[in-house]
Amino acid sequence: MDNLESILSENRVFSPSPEFSDRARIGSRAAFDALVAEAERDFEGFWARLAREFVTWDTPFTQTLDDSNAPFFKWFADGRLNVSVNCIDRHLPAKADKTAIIGESDDGTVTHISYQELHDRVAKFANALKAQGIEKGDRVVIYLPMIPDATVAMLACARIGAIHSVVFGGFSAEALRDRINDTEAKLVITADGNMRGGKKVTLKGQVDKALEHGCPSVETVIMLEHLGGVPTGTSSAKEMTWAEAVDGQPAECEPVMVEAEHPLFILYTSGSTGKPKGIVHSSGGYLVNAAMTCSWVFDLNDDDVYWCTADVGWITGHTYVTYGPLALGVTQVVFEGVPTYPDGGRFWDMVERHKVSVFYTAPTAIRALMKLGDEVPNKYDLSSLRLLGTVGEPINPEAWVWYHQVIGGGRCPITDTWWQTETGAHAIAPIPGAIDLVPGSCTLPLPGIMADVVDDHGKKVPTESGGNLVIKRPWPSMLRTIWGDDERFKRTYFPDNLPGYYLAGDSARRDQDGYIWIMGRIDDVINVSGHRLGTMEVESALVAHPDVAEAAVVGRPHDVKGESIVAFVVVKGDRPQGDAAEAMVKTLRDWVTEQIGPIAKPDDIRFGDNLPKTRSGKIMRRLLRGIAKGEPPEGDTSTLENPAILEQLMGND
């Protein structure tokens, strides 16, 4: 670490090592350039080739892209497949005994699930879902901890063509209820609870609460007795344990072949407006990019032990835990716990014990573990690692270099992968055997992903200038729509001012080498520990409290979380001060936790008599962002109706 400063100031380029490139799937810049050229020359032919290479089709497709109803693009539309067959059956019998999942629980218990066992468990559970009346197209909500059973549940849905919607276990009953109702799910799969960091987390209790508050579509709740609990719900839904549900079910289940465009899942994510959006993903196109990127960007091979630390509640856990790695038939680690329990060496201890070779995590985790000092990872043998990845937010060069030197021993390439819930899979990321790395840049778009940086009229911006990150042509794993809201899909992602381009919602710049540097969101979305949250979502939660009149929420830079949440609140009646203010802060933090979940809890809540507004009543967020950072208001404040409020919110009066 002594030379950290010099490395940063050198802006050093990290070229792929010959040892890595020699065995890599795509092992040179020339090979990469050839793929880019192929995609440019014959866009559809390129994707058709990959779709045949990475996916096993039950009925081969004859048409690659149907853009006749843009932006509702269709890919491989007359092809049929089953995603669970691609993730399991096609590896059998060859890999029957190969470990698919190494599950490690919070307390360190390890279980190995072979591909054959995975098959049997998925088939039994799929039969159990059928026995509860679940059919192709029905929605099933999965609210489970980060355990192999979550993957089993997802694949069981895929096997029978049911559409799953996984809700992150950290979301509250209210958030869960909203998602159940938006999808009109017939069945909910949950667990009694789980252990994280030595503490018990209740899940079933949240489901009970959600159902008590009204989820009329839910007919059945299946509860995994993970902690040995029994179902206790009082709603009218039928309740059973996982064991009861699968009891007597055969370990064979005929897969339902679905059209390529059949929705595989709905996953909710935050946007600019209040309500989270249900992002709809397809079966065929989604799987093509999931498998292809695991092969190209993670360079996964048969002998790799792969570990992605993301929870299945997020898109990363969908594409890079459940679908991509299993489609390639690799062995992966699934971890239920947290990186700091029983101590900050947990990740590195697991890398050593399971001989992890490819490791994928978020910058927030890297920064948190970096703070504990090099002596922690240095205690472990990390020599099995050969590739490291990051996702979710920009990684600062200091954390990048630490990850590279201290975790990767200077020998592992780092793939900084840019993508989104909406893109379904990596879109901009270095192909590790081919691309020179520069800390802080996600480097170049993948072949076939026509990403660019443009101004508000769709014109390419000059090198080094900031602009809108767009993708100019569709790609197989792109979102298909927002569940139940085609108009919002069009408005949000294909706005009229950009000619048919997908608008990512991020700003970015390109440097002279064409490398892309993500600058941040252009909308009111904040990124807390790699999790997307809409400021309006948190504001809506705050104003739903009976004592709150008005609220405005902004992000503030945070050295571990990336951004933290700061809320400016106007209460009904007098502005609370002293002890009353402290008590109100606690009340509101608890309230937001209940409304959304702990990830949305503001770090800082400030009370004002009102909020800084223009004369036309618009809240001036720019000023609030400055105040949140403790910076005196700069720029134009002349349009402000109530300038004195700035001093008050700064805490100066």
Q: Which residues are annotated as a binding site for CoA?
A: 196-199, 316, 529
315 binds ligand PRX (CB under 6 A): yes
Closer Cβ to ligand PRX, 335 or 419, answer by number: 419
Residues making up the annotated binding site for Mg(2+) are 543, 545, 548
Q: String of b and e for 441-469 (b: at least 16 CB within 10 Å)?
A: bbbbbbbbbbbbbbeeebeebeeeebbbb
Closer Cβ to ligand PRX, 194 or 361, answer by number: 361
312 binds ligand PRX (CB under 6 A): no
Q: How many residues bind ligand PRX (CB under 6 A)?
A: 21
Closer Cβ to ligand PRX, 288 or 623, answer by number: 288
- CB 437, min distance to ligand PRX, A: 13
Task: Look at phi and psi of residue 108 and say left if phi exceeds 0, alpha if psi is from -120 to 50, else beta.
Answer: left
Beta bridge partners of 196: 199
- CB 268, min distance to ligand PRX, A: 10
269 binds ligand PRX (CB under 6 A): yes
Question: d(Cα 442, Cα 58) in Å, to the nearest integer?
Answer: 36
Closer Cβ to ligand PRX, 233 or 392, answer by number: 392
365 binds ligand PRX (CB under 6 A): no
> Which of 165, 417, 443, 529 is close enough to bind ligand PRX by CB under 6 A?
417
Q: What is the per-residue binding string for ligand PRX in 493-512, x denoting contact by CB under 6 A?
A: -----------xxx------
Closer Cβ to ligand PRX, 322 or 527, answer by number: 527
Closer Cβ to ligand PRX, 254 or 513, answer by number: 513
324 binds ligand PRX (CB under 6 A): no
626 binds ligand PRX (CB under 6 A): no
Residues making up the annotated binding site are 196-199, 316, 392-394, 416-421, 506, 521, 529, 532, 543, 545, 548
- CB 531, min distance to ligand PRX, A: 6
Phi, psi of 89 (to 5 degrees): -55, -35
Beta bridge partners of 558: 562
Assign 3-class secondary structure to 389-438.
Answer: EEECCCCCHHHHHHHHHHHCCCCCCEEEEECCCCCCCCCECCCCCCCCEC
289 binds ligand PRX (CB under 6 A): no
Phi, psi of 265 (to 5 degrees): -160, 165
Amino acid identity, position 653? D
Three-state DSSP state, 202: strand
527 binds ligand PRX (CB under 6 A): yes
With beta carbons less than 8 A apart as the criterion, state whether 333 and 307 touch.
yes
Candidates 427, 159, 146; CA nearest to 307 is 146
Closer Cβ to ligand PRX, 192 or 524, answer by number: 524
Residues 376-415 that bind ligand PRX (CB under 6 A): 391-394
- CB 428, min distance to ligand PRX, A: 8
Strands (E), 105-230: 110-114, 139-143, 163-166, 187-191, 193-196, 199-202, 220-224
Residue 644's CB is within 10 A of a number of other CB atoms, namely: 11
442 binds ligand PRX (CB under 6 A): yes
> Which of 406, 518, 542, 567 is close enough to bind ligand PRX by CB under 6 A?
518
Closer Cβ to ligand PRX, 172 or 270, answer by number: 270
Residue 353, classified by CB atoms within 10 Å of its CB into exposed (0-12), middle (13-18) or buried (19+), is middle
Strands (E), 183-340: 187-191, 193-196, 199-202, 220-224, 238-241, 258-259, 263-269, 277-282, 305-308, 331-335
- CB 92, min distance to ligand PRX, A: 31
416 binds ligand PRX (CB under 6 A): yes
Task: Look at phi and psi of residue 133 and say left if phi exceeds 0, alpha if psi is from -120 to 50, else beta.
Answer: left
308 binds ligand PRX (CB under 6 A): no
Chain contacts with ligand PRX (rule: CB under 6 A): 269, 315-316, 391-394, 416-421, 442, 504-506, 518, 521, 527, 532
